[in-house]
């Protein structure tokens, strides 16, 4: 076991994680109607491969990943009803709607993957067909991340089980129930990325998961694998703070852990890789924490991708009456995003549905002027000066935002939580970042338009010059004809 590392900033919060463990892990049946968001949480949409009327089977590839998007596979057999805009965890998005026929006929029979008999590049290629995205929330294709790590020659694989945000405990449940899968997945990913060792990061408030993981490691007998136990401090589970805590190396704010010799994967991603190695079936389900004071029986639920959130809540006893739910959040109370509807489908990036009452959400009074107390700077895990960033954001001072490190903000919400003036710092930083992206996009579009205009002008000039030459040649020919016949 690795020694406990030192940490900077962050918050020690009430986890609210005990109630879901009063219930066993619930495995949901396939949904009657599967709604597959083409954007599974990465911010980029996959390209649909089927259209309305197409018949699909369980495991049929229905969308092709590109860039940050993963392949999508149908969790049901049935007929594609439509490709339409539907509510998703990121807002409205394009979705394939598949009506199940109840037969659950499979595309192919389960077949183990001989991962030990494949070289690293071939193994990465096989994992690329799995549709596995990062199950910590980002949903970035796992195989692409491993391929980049292999090319960069990383030294270490970090398996992130530091589930630090309040309310979320799906990774804890996974490690308790399927620690052997998590360990096997780590071994497969080590073979794929070429790293020499793997470290499981787990917080000290998860004794059952830690015991299960250590027992699975002892059974595996693999000296390349170890466990690092971390204090339960938010937002230690974020990638950059985790890498810094475990290795002492700072990931550049505009860079990746690969640049310091590390690749990070969620423990849920590792378990998904193990399942793919065991049966060859693509990623079609995940564990989601359904919790909050607004649901009757909080639990961890294994749900098929595309299952409406309403069916998860129903499996947990439905909505409570007293106190009534105030908000549905995708994620925890600090970084979660509000869901517009419980028709929103489960995606690969959805780790928690928080059915929140007023008591579950951080209290927010009326916003008052900043008193320059410095509490926000004390808790900032990125070591920024949020009060200075806030002044620059309110003034739309792009130079100031750059100087005070807006790009390094991980939007964890720690500064909001401690601010005595109830200033919504994180939302303003997010808005400032979005404005910067829009401004940069506008500049790129303007630059591209200028290039297109200049090319068009050159084409017109070349065309005019060609026409002038043709006219001069015709005039010379006409003069020659007149001279010949004169």
Question: What is the structure's pLDDT at 3?
Answer: 41
- How many angstroms separate the CA atoms of 188 and 204, rounded? 26
Q: pLDDT of 60-118, one tens digit each?
A: 999 999 899 999 999 999 999 999 999 998 889 999 999 999 999 998 888 889 999 99
- How many angstroms separate the CA atoms of 80 and 78, rounded? 7
Question: What is the structure's pLDDT at 324?
Answer: 84
Residues with Cβ < 8 Å from 27, sequence gap 6 or more?
301, 302
Question: What is the structure's pLDDT at 9?
Answer: 82
Q: Inform me whether the pLDDT recorded for 375 exceeds 80.
A: yes
Q: Inform me whether the pLDDT recorded for 146 exceeds 70.
A: yes
Q: pLDDT of 275-302, one tens digit each?
A: 999 999 899 999 999 999 999 999 999 9
Range(s) within the chain of domains with CATH label 3.40.50.11540:
19-26+114-286
Taking the mean position of all CA atoms in its chain, how far away is CA 3?
29
What is the rounded average pLDDT of the residues 448-476? 88
Neighbours of 411 (CB within 10 A): 18
CATH class of the domain defined by 19-26+114-286: alpha beta
Q: Describe the strand order of the beta sheet including 285-291 as a list of residue ranges.
A: 26-27, 299-304, 285-291, 352-356, 327-330, 337-338
Q: Inform me whether the pLDDT recorded for 6 exceeds 90.
A: no
Question: What is the structure's pLDDT at 483?
Answer: 65
Residues with Cβ < 8 Å from 135, sequence gap 6 or more?
266, 268, 269, 272, 286, 348, 349, 351
- Tell me the pLDDT of the chain averaged across its residues: 92
pLDDT band of residue 225 (cuts 50, 70, 90) is very high
Q: pLDDT of 147-161, one tens digit each?
A: 999 999 999 999 999
pTM metric for this prediction: 0.86
Neighbours of 359 (CB within 10 A): 11
Residues with Cβ < 8 Å from 66, sequence gap 6 or more?
44, 46, 47
Q: Inform me whether the pLDDT recorded for 2 exceeds 60.
A: no
Question: What is the structure's pLDDT at 433?
Answer: 87
Strands 156-161 vs 55-56: parallel, antiparallel or unpaired:
unpaired
Q: Inform me whether the pLDDT recorded for 393 exceeds 70.
A: yes
Q: pLDDT of 400-414, one tens digit each?
A: 999 999 989 988 999
Q: pLDDT of 330-345, one tens digit each?
A: 999 888 889 989 999 9
Taking the mean position of all CA atoms in its chain, how far away is CA 292?
22
């Amino acid at each position: 076991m690795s020694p406990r590392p030192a940490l900077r900033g962050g918050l020690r919060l009430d986890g609210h994680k005990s109630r879901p463990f009063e219930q066993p892990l619930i495995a949901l049946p396939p949904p009657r109607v599967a709604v597959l968001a083409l954007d599974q949480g990465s911010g980029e949409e996959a390209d649909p491969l089927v259209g309305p009327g197409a018949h699909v089977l369980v495991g049929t590839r229905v969308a092709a990943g590109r860039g940050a998007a993963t392949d999508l596979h149908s969790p049901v057999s049935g007929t594609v009803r439509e490709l339409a805009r539907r509510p998703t965890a990121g807002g409205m998005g394009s979705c394939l709607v598949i009506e199940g026929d109840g037969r659950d006929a499979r595309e192919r029979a389960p077949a183990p993957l001989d991962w030990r008999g494949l070289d690293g590049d071939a193994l990465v290629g096989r994992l690329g067909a799995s549709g596995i995205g990062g199950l910590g929330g980002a949903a970035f294709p796992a195989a692409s991340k491993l391929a980049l790590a292999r090319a960069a020659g990383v030294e270490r694989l970090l398996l992130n089980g530091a589930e630090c945000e309040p309310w979320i405990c799906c990774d804890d449940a996974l490690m308790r129930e399927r620690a052997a899968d998590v360990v096997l997945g780590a071994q497969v990913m080590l073979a794929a990325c070429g790293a020499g060792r793997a470290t499981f990061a787990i917080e000290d408030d998860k004794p059952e998961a830690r015991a299960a993981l250590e027992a699975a490691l002892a059974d595996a007998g693999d000296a390349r694998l170890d466990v690092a136990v971390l204090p339960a401090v938010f937002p230690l589970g974020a990638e950059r703070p985790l890498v810094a805590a475990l290795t002492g190396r700072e990931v550049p704010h505009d860079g990746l852990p690969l640049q310091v010799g590390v690749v990070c994967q969620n423990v849920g991603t590792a378990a998904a890789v193990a399942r793919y190695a065991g049966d060859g079936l693509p990623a079609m389900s995940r564990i989601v924490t359904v919790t909050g004071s607004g649901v009757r029986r909080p639990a961890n639920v294994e749900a098929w991708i595309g299952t409406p959130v309403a069916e998860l809540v129903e499996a947990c006893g439905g909505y409570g009456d007293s106190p009534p739910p105030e908000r549905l959040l995708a994620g925890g109370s600090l970084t979660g995003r509000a869901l517009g509807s419980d028709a929103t489908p489960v995606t690969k990036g959805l780790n928690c549905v928080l059915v929140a009452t007023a008591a579950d959400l951080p209290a927010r009074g009326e916003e008052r002027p900043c008193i320059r107390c410095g509490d926000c700077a004390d808790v900032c895990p990125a070591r920024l000066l949020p009060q200075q960033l806030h002044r620059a954001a309110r003034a739309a001072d792009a130079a100031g935002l750059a100087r005070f490190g807006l790009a390094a903000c991980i939007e964890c919400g720690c500064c909001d939580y401690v601010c005595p003036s109830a200033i919504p710092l994180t939302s303003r930083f997010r808005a400032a970042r979005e404005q910067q992206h829009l401004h940069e996009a506008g500049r790129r579009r303007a630059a591209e338009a200028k290039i297109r205009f200049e090319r068009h002008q050159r084409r017109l000039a070349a065309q005019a010059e060609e026409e002038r030459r043709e006219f001069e040649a015709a005039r010379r020919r006409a003069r020659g004809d007149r001279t010949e016949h004169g």
